[in-house]
A and B are shown apart, each in its own frame.
Chain A
Amino acid sequence: MNRSRATKKIGFVVVMILFGVALFSTRYYLVDLPVYHFFGGGEGPDPPALHLRGEFVESNLGAAEGPSGALTVRMIAQQFVFVPQCVEVPAGVPVTFRMTSADVVHMLSFLGTDYGLKVVPGAVTEATFTFSKPGTFKIPCHEFCGAGHYAMRGQLNVVPQDQFAGMLPGERRACELR
């Protein structure tokens, strides 16, 4: 093999371009470790004491409406259930998920959509998703978390925007898993 340096360089550049295209053309948007956990210097919630203080007390979980009308869904992932197990959001509206773990690393994938979330103890994973089509999506845990991992499953109900009943002040909405 006797290739010139120029040929090698061109080959390298072509491979890198192909790699980049492959990386950015995937339709799976996994929100991995929150970057601001390292750069922002913020303190995350205390995994064994989520139920005592902070935004993840059990009365604050579920979908909540902010002052600007934006929806925020707060969830806990723990061995081996998501709390709340079922959340209801309107279609076509950006919904912010704020999640944390009470024990080990978990991962949600919203089956049937392109979205996924990694949930890490001691940090809040935040991401804003817009679910375009209404439907019922299962949320299995996608990161091995222990003996009951395979049965750890939640549900996301995306309802048409006009069928999503307005939120009362202070309401936290969850739904019944079917």
Chain B
Amino acid sequence: MSYASWAWRVRTAAWIGLVAGLCVIALLLAGRNSSAQSSANPASANPASANLSSAKLASANAANAEPAVRIPSNVAWTEETLKLVSRGDAFRGSLLGRRCNHCHGEEGFSSVAAFPNLAGMDRMSFWKQMQDFRSGKRSSPVMEPIAQGFSQRDAADLAAYFAMLPTASDPQDNRAFPQAMHDPARATIAIRLIIFGDGQRGIPPCQSCHGPVFYVKGAPPLAKQNGDYLEQQLQYFSNGFRSNDINVRMRSVARQLTAEEKTAVSEFYGAGLGPGAN
């Protein structure tokens, strides 16, 4: 077979034409398919306007009033935020952190179990809570005015300092942590929830976001946290008093927990028995 023959050229051209034609048909089909999918909702037929669809709906029909937009927290884990927080200066933080000693302890461990321990705290979660206190997205009569005195950079420095503090036990220190569980029988409930969660009820295991198995951005480590504080926060998340978690994540989980389960998990962590405590 000669490659210069007319028969070969015609055959090649036919093949190329066939393949090109199939490609065009596939593209057309794909385009039609997507427009058919989008046409179910005429307000969002154009994906570029999808973000504006809610506004369009509102203007199109006054009877379909839009709910007021609720923003849980002004913090978003964008590149700039991550850079700003990770640039924190631990030495400057140690000087600023003297103001925190009175309640959160000289070594980052509180003497009162209702106040959170800050030693070994995750930088991102610490910084986010400080911003939320500042903006009032998380309400606390004590912490709101204090946080307003710290700039974003100050909070990043503090975050770096507290993340650096050791979490080993210190008999010399006056700290509330750890406290024995009131009812050790509840440990089985806590272990089940912390390690396995409850898939039937849509409760992921605590350790899949709060460590040590896996961390999600903004989720603090719990292994060295005070039980009373944890129980209070679970209560606040489930009744909606605290609602600064991004995309309703912690509220969804806390809502599913029974009162006994909240107590069991909090006391278990507060007794220093949680995974990653040692």
B278 interface residue per 8 A CB criterion: no
B63 interface residue per 8 A CB criterion: yes
A135 interface residue per 8 A CB criterion: no
Determine the distance from Cα of A59 to Cα of B63 in the docked complex, in whole angstroms.
Answer: 18
Q: A58-B248, A85-B202, A96-B40 are in contact. Are A170 and B54 (CB under 8 A)?
A: no
Write out the residue numbers on chain B whose beta carbons fall within 8 Å of the beta carbon of A42: 46-48, 50
Determine the distance from Cα of A129 to Cα of B27 in the docked complex, in whole angstroms.
Answer: 24
A80 interface residue per 8 A CB criterion: yes
A135-178 vs B, CB cutoff 8 Å, 1 = contact: the mask equals 00000100000111011111100000000000001111000010
Complex contact A148–B73 (CB within 8 A):
no
Write out the residue numbers on chain A whose beta carbons fall within 8 Å of the beta carbon of B198: 151
Complex contact A59–B41 (CB within 8 A):
no
Q: How many A-B residue pairs have CB under 8 A?
A: 175
CB distance from B197 to the nearest CB of A (A): 4
Write out the residue numbers on chain B whose beta carbons fall within 8 Å of the beta carbon of A140: 199
Determine the distance from Cα of A153 to Cα of B200 in the docked complex, in whole angstroms.
Answer: 7
Determine the distance from Cα of A148 to Cα of B66 in the docked complex, in whole angstroms.
Answer: 34
Q: A51-B76, A147-B214 are in contact. Are A67 and B54 (CB under 8 A)?
A: no
Complex contact B252–A148 (CB within 8 A):
no
B69 interface residue per 8 A CB criterion: yes
Q: Which of A34, A35, A102, A148 makes the CB contact (< 8 A) with B214? A: A148
Q: Which of A31, A50, A67, A150 makes the CB contact (< 8 A) with B60? A: A67
Q: Which of A124, A151, A171 makes the CB contact (< 8 A) with B203? A: A151
Complex contact A81–B204 (CB within 8 A):
yes
Write out the residue numbers on chain B whose beta carbons fall within 8 Å of the beta carbon of A82: 202
Tell me which of B5-13, B31-39, B127-135, B171-179 binds A.
Answer: B31-39
Complex contact B202–A153 (CB within 8 A):
yes
Complex contact B76–A55 (CB within 8 A):
no
Complex contact A35–B30 (CB within 8 A):
yes
Complex contact A169–B252 (CB within 8 A):
no
State which residues 18-61 of A face B: CB under 8 Å: 31, 34-37, 39-46, 48-55, 57-61
Write out the residue numbers on chain A whose beta carbons fall within 8 Å of the beta carbon of B203: 151
Q: Which of B31, B43, B205 makes the CB contact (< 8 A) with A39? A: B31
Write out the residue numbers on chain A whose beta carbons fall within 8 Å of the beta carbon of B47: 34, 36-37, 40, 42-44, 124
A7 interface residue per 8 A CB criterion: no
Closest to A36 in B: B34
A66 interface residue per 8 A CB criterion: yes
Q: Which of B34, B54, B71 makes the CB contact (< 8 A) with A40? A: B34
B42 interface residue per 8 A CB criterion: yes
B51 interface residue per 8 A CB criterion: yes
Determine the distance from Cα of A50 to Cα of B247 in the docked complex, in whole angstroms.
Answer: 8
Complex contact A59–B76 (CB within 8 A):
no
Complex contact B61–A83 (CB within 8 A):
no
Determine the distance from Cα of A43 to Cα of B48 in the docked complex, in whole angstroms.
Answer: 6
State which residues 248-271 of B face A: CB under 8 Å: 248-249, 252-253, 256
Write out the residue numbers on chain B whose beta carbons fall within 8 Å of the beta carbon of A40: 34, 46-48
Complex contact A34–B76 (CB within 8 A):
no
Among A53, A57, A84, which residue has the most Cβ atoms of chain B within 10 A? A57
Complex contact B202–A55 (CB within 8 A):
no
Q: Which of B61, B65, B247 makes the CB contact (< 8 A) with A58? A: B247
State which residues 88-134 of A face B: CB under 8 Å: 94, 96, 98, 102-103, 124, 126-128
Determine the distance from Cα of A153 to Cα of B202 in the docked complex, in whole angstroms.
Answer: 5
Determine the distance from Cα of A177 to Cα of B77 in the docked complex, in whole angstroms.
Answer: 29
State which residues 64-86 of A face B: CB under 8 Å: 65-68, 70, 72, 76, 78-85
B125 interface residue per 8 A CB criterion: no
Complex contact B213–A81 (CB within 8 A):
no
CB distance from A119 to the nearest CB of B (A): 13
Determine the distance from Cα of A154 to Cα of B246 in the docked complex, in whole angstroms.
Answer: 18
5 nearest A-B pairs in the assembled complex, by CB-CB distance:
A42-B47, A148-B208, A148-B204, A147-B214, A147-B208
Q: Which residues of A contact B (CB under 8 A)?
A: 31, 34-37, 39-46, 48-55, 57-61, 65-68, 70, 72, 76, 78-85, 94, 96, 98, 102-103, 124, 126-128, 140, 146-148, 150-155, 169-172, 177
